[in-house]
Structure 1
């Protein structure tokens, strides 16, 4: 990665709370345009909280979150979304009262460049077949496809994916891996939280290790092999 690569996201001294619980303690990291960056860490380390803080979902947070040079820490989540950041939560947030087509069309298009329905159905043929099925009657893999497909329509160029492979069959995991590789090839930027280290290691350009609400280490994919001993300590992989 060259020094001329534009910075997409810069997180500095990010603090965040759930109610009275102080979860993030000065977290700092960055993501360059066109990268796939993965946040690694044990359960409860603060990885998901970081994504929610960037997205403006948590009410109490401080520090600096700059997206394409603009500080967004004080913006509401809808305004952050309109800047081109999309968040796919771990729980997928599929609406049970809506069918697949209605769930898919729910988020507004914020800018040109989003995937067309034709392209989405090429990527996820199951969704076309289940278009009139109730969203929560899909399999776990199909729900994950729908959750990702929904944000690809919007035209967002910065995608945050929280545990996209959790609980899914290996064939679906492979499909999601191919999708992320394709998105990267098309110039999108992805910030990934993923417990499946083997999956993340095949996709990410860089890794940050999160522990107790802060980044304690970071390295590139090229440095992965020489850092495996550290990862065994950090993650138990």
Structure 2
């Protein structure tokens, strides 16, 4: 299928209708009840973060949105369509792309093969030339096995791989975890660039100092619940609240 360089356009970035609307989301791993009524929404073109300490439920929220938990109830509406009973593969084909913390790079494939592996789900994905412009390291390492890359290069590859699919909503789980500061800066620049191109991002982060450089809004989680919401313009006056939540 031909790859396009235009940005995804299921809705205009300035639209007020949520691209993703989560209401009273409950989730379980076996008998363990990990999410307790999570509600959030994301409008087209936004970058929104989930903040919180380890174990707060951030990753479980992404996995529950994708249907990758043992059981879930509540409502997860994507572009107005209910997905709570959909399978993970159906959710992916609908236009939600998930980049897990462990990255999922295939050892037996080189960089280009890893890039080309996921299917195109919509027009609007980035072509290989554009990906190479965003991530010059991937062009230099195009024929290298995926797991021979550095941690930062593997993270770039994991993000680049989903940008190619054309999915308009990207779920990124801890993309800066364990990376050198220079790579963190590059990941931040990439998120700002893909926002300009019309992608919508839900980002899990523990590094608030990074999150505040890329995000429009922040949801704070504790014990499997959303306990606060902060807009970018509220951050300066919310230092004490954030310290209490995150220990920053």
- TM-score range, shorter-chain basis? over 0.9
| Aligned twin of 1:168 | 179
**Residues matched between the structures, number:** 236
In structure 2, C-alpha distance between the alignment counterparts of 1:195 and 1:228, rounded to whole Å: 15
Of 86, 110, 126, the residue aligned with 1:115 is: 126
* Cα drift, residue 3 of structure 1: 9.5
Of 84, 87, 90, the residue aligned with 2:98 is: 87
* Cα drift, residue 56 of structure 1: 1.3
In structure 1, C-alpha distance between the alignment counterparts of 2:24 and 2:174, rounded to whole Å: 24
In structure 1, C-alpha distance between the alignment counterparts of 2:14 and 2:211, rounded to whole Å: 24
* Cα drift, residue 4 of structure 1: 5.4
Of 65, 72, 91, the residue aligned with 1:61 is: 72
SS at 2:188 equivalent: helix
Query: Can you give the 5+ residue segments of structure 2 that lack an aligned partner in the other structure?
Result: 1-12
TM-score normalised to structure 2 length: 0.93
SS at 1:94 equivalent: coil
| Aligned twin of 2:154 | 143
| Aligned twin of 1:158 | 169
| Aligned twin of 1:39 | 50
Change (3 A) 1:133 1:25: same
In structure 2, C-alpha distance between the alignment counterparts of 1:4 and 1:172, rounded to whole Å: 32
In structure 1, C-alpha distance between the alignment counterparts of 2:122 and 2:75, rounded to whole Å: 25
In structure 1, C-alpha distance between the alignment counterparts of 2:17 and 2:66, rounded to whole Å: 20
Aligned pairs for 1:1-237 within 5 A: 5-237=16-248
* Cα drift, residue 193 of structure 1: 0.3
Query: Can you give the 5+ residue segments of structure 1 that lack an aligned partner in the other structure?
Result: none
TM-score normalised to structure 1 length: 0.97
Change (3 A) 1:79 1:26: same
Cα RMSD between the aligned structures? 1.3
* Cα drift, residue 19 of structure 1: 1.4
In structure 2, C-alpha distance between the alignment counterparts of 1:57 and 1:108, rounded to whole Å: 19
4+ residue runs over 2 A deviation: none
Change (3 A) 1:183 1:4: closer
* Cα drift, residue 231 of structure 1: 0.5
> Deviations along 1:170-193, whole A, 9 cap, x unmatched?
111111111111111111110000
> Deviations along 1:136-192, whole A, 9 cap, x unmatched?
111000000000000000001100100000111111111111111111111111000
In structure 2, C-alpha distance between the alignment counterparts of 1:182 and 1:156, rounded to whole Å: 16
